[in-house]
Amino acid sequence: MKYDLLKDNRGFTIVEVIASVFIFSVIVTTIGGIFIRSLSIERKNFSAQKVQENSLRALEMMAREIRISRMATADSDCLASSISLIRPSIGTVDYTLISGQIFRKEGTSDAAAITSADINFNKLNFCVDGSASNDSKPTRVTILTQVENVNGIETYTLNLQTTIISRDLSDDFQN
């Protein structure tokens, strides 16, 4: 009797084994592809975050100084890659694009980079409007930039623009 039960249990056919191996390999390949793609997306997001943090920090630093300064730079047609400011307490402050980095120069001291070496500014333009003393308009400075990451497998490029209206605080400092 026991012999009859084992006789009917024959196992899997070769077709069933091949079909199950094929289905298993398709599932494993799909999961592996999803994992590799998620790592690629994570790397790109990390590069984007690094570019955004570094470039926004530099723009905020320049915007803060432009807000409380007078312009030494005359009105421009958005082609200027440097700007000069007159701060009442410090003197002249210059921002310039040199070899993909933004440099800040205060008075006669040496220029120092305010951006990380991990990012590259391809473009930094200043549009100055209303800097003349007789035009009775507030000075408006628009900063146009194009920034990209230096390190990493994938290149991430970011275009940024901000407009700052300078407040004339010279009367406040004299009183």
Residues 103-111: contacts with CB under 8 Å, at least 24 apart: 104/61
66: left (phi over 0), alpha (psi -120 to 50) or beta: alpha
Minimum mean pLDDT range among 73-77, 125-129, 165-169, 170-174: 170-174
pLDDT of 8 over the 90 cut: no
Q: Return the amino acid letter for 53.
A: E
What is the tens place of the pLDDT at every residue in 91-113? Answer: 899 999 999 999 999 988 898 99
pTM: 0.73
pLDDT greater than 70 at residue 173: no
User: Residue 80 has what DSSP assignment?
Assistant: B
Q: What is the pLDDT of residue 175?
A: 45
Contact present, 104 and 111 (Cβ < 8 Å): yes
Residues listed for the chain? 175
Q: What are phi and psi of 113, to 5 degrees?
A: -70, 135
**H helix or E strand, kind and range, residue 5:** helix 2-8
Quick one: average pLDDT of 12-39? Answer: 94
Count of CB atoms within 10 A of residue 71's CB? 22
Over the stretch 56-93, which tens digit does the pLDDT of each residue have?
Answer: 999 999 999 988 888 887 777 778 888 988 887 888 99
More confident residue, 155 or 73: 155
